[in-house]
Amino acid sequence: MVTELKVSAIENGTVIDHIPSKNVFQVIKILDLENFDNQILFGTNLESKKYGTKGIIKVRNKYFADDDINRISLVAPKATLIVIKDFQVVEKRRVEVPDTIDGIVRCFNPNCITNVENVATKFKVVSKDEVILQCHYCEKNTVKKNISFK
Amino acid sequence: MKGKSLISINDYSKEEQISILELAAHFEQNPIQKILDGYVVATLFFEPSTRTRLSFESAVNRLGGKVIGFSDSSSSSVKKGESLKDTILTVSNYSDLIVMRNPVEGSARYASEVSKVPVINAGDGSNQHPTQTLLDLYTIRQTQKTLDNLHVAFVGDLKYGRTVHSLVQALCNYNTTFYFISPNELKLPSYIKMNIKNSNLKYYQLTDMAEVMSNIDILYMTRVQRERFSDPLEYERVKDAYILKRDMLTDIKENMKILHPLPRVNEISEDVDDTPQAYYFQQALNGVFVRQALITSILGIK
Ligand SMILES: [Zn+2]
């Protein structure tokens, strides 16, 4: 309850909970929240019983498509999505690693066309457990520890 | 396969690959046919590769088609900073098919997505070179009369050799037993081994080719290059172990053939060339027939 008070409740919208504290800004970037007009509240380094500390983001009057929200699984694999209508939780679920990742991740291969010319990246997720992304263009794998964002 | 680009060997199903090989056999019987009259094929070589380019151009010329293009990027607008997209869009106005070689990995896939005409990948950096794979499959089939259930050994640089990677991927369709013989530093990457495991096939990794000589149907040799080693002393220590010499060909199967993607440096000693097992020069010739088959299939002529 204490952590909830630090970032106030919303009437309608989406709460993304259990984000690793250090990745809150990454999630903001992946979801492109910087360019939203909606009211956004976020907190980092909040206490979490499960994980020590956590981050949380609340976006007022916004509901995300599954494909959009699942992209954050790359930096927040244990995040919970909470959909709120009239102050009530109407849906609560874990994010899932999607089958494909478009646009947000950089290919780890410096000689890939996506790093040489202005070409948007596309990856097939070949392992959801280990998070291994295979580039649609150069076919090389980008593993979790090498993932960086465009 | 009409209109279908070939970027990666797996873009074509096993059945499509076989149909190309069968058509290639037809062109081997009748290599000169004026069936490409009026067609223009563009060969865009952003890095020089005389052997591959001549093979494609010979294939088109023998069928009566015309070739336009460039043989390295220094003589083209690319040097002036034109994007790949603009080059491809322009050239696809002038041609029915684009054959492209480009040192940037993934460039061929991207070209096929922006091009108005089909694209054949003639090599994109260390990634794919699918016409080499088709001609390797053709040669194996030609020498063994089948592609199924063969024992195939790969020798040399298995880490960086894209030719090896693509052929291994393709052979996973044919119940192959694989033998990989390389220095420890140049072993087959795990993502290629994953293909073999997923197909439930057997493979063996060794450092000495003498151990497998009597088991195999195909011996696929590749170059071991000094610059691939982090320690030059290690190169000096292992290099001779990956050179094929005539006296190693004593206890072998009757049908065994030696292949090599060429050019070779010293990994097959020259006294092997006139043994009945040496097949690498015929292998190179097959490239023209396979490319004739591929081009006519994609253009919808055969
Ligand atoms: Zn890539």
Q: What is the pLDDT of residue B240?
A: 83
Distance (Å, whole) CA B153 – CA B177: 9
B-chain residues near A143 (CB < 8 A): none
**pLDDT tens string B132-183:** 999 999 999 999 999 999 999 999 999 988 899 999 999 999 999 999 999 9
A131 in Cβ contact with A74 (< 8 Å)? yes
Q: Bin B149: left if φ > 0, else alpha if -120 < ψ < 50, else beta.
A: left
**pLDDT tens string B84-124:** 999 999 999 999 999 999 999 999 999 999 999 999 999 99
Distance (Å, whole) CA A47 – CA B185: 47
Q: pLDDT class for A2, splitting at 50, 70, 90?
A: very low
For the domain made up of A13-94, give the CATH fold: Alpha-Beta Plaits (3.30.70)
Q: Can you give the residue ranges of every domain in chain A?
A: 13-94, 100-149
Distance (Å, whole) CA A64 – CA B198: 36
Smallest Cα distance from A33 to chain B, Å? 30
Mean pLDDT in residue range A110-127: 96
Interface test with B, best of A102, A108, A111 (most B CBs within 10 A): A111
**pLDDT tens string B231-256:** 888 888 888 889 999 999 999 999 99
Domain A100-149 = CATH 2.30.30.20? yes
C-alpha A113 to ligand 1 mean position (Å): 7
Q: Is the pLDDT score of A1 beyond 70?
A: no
Residues contacting residue B114 through CB under 8 Å, at least 6 positions apart: B84, B85, B88, B89
Smallest Cα distance from A103 to chain B, Å? 14
Q: Is the pLDDT score of B76 beyond 80?
A: no
Nearest to B84 among A109, A117, A141 (CB): A117
Q: Is the pLDDT score of B77 beyond 80?
A: no
Question: Domains in chain B, start-ordered, CATH in brackets?
Answer: 9-128+287-298 (3.40.50.1370), 130-284 (3.40.50.1370)
Q: pLDDT class for A5, splitting at 50, 70, 90?
A: very low
Provide the mean pLDDT of chain A: 90
B120 in Cβ contact with B88 (< 8 Å)? no
Mean pLDDT in residue range B23-28: 97
In total, the C-beta contacts within 8 angstroms joining chain A to chain B are 49
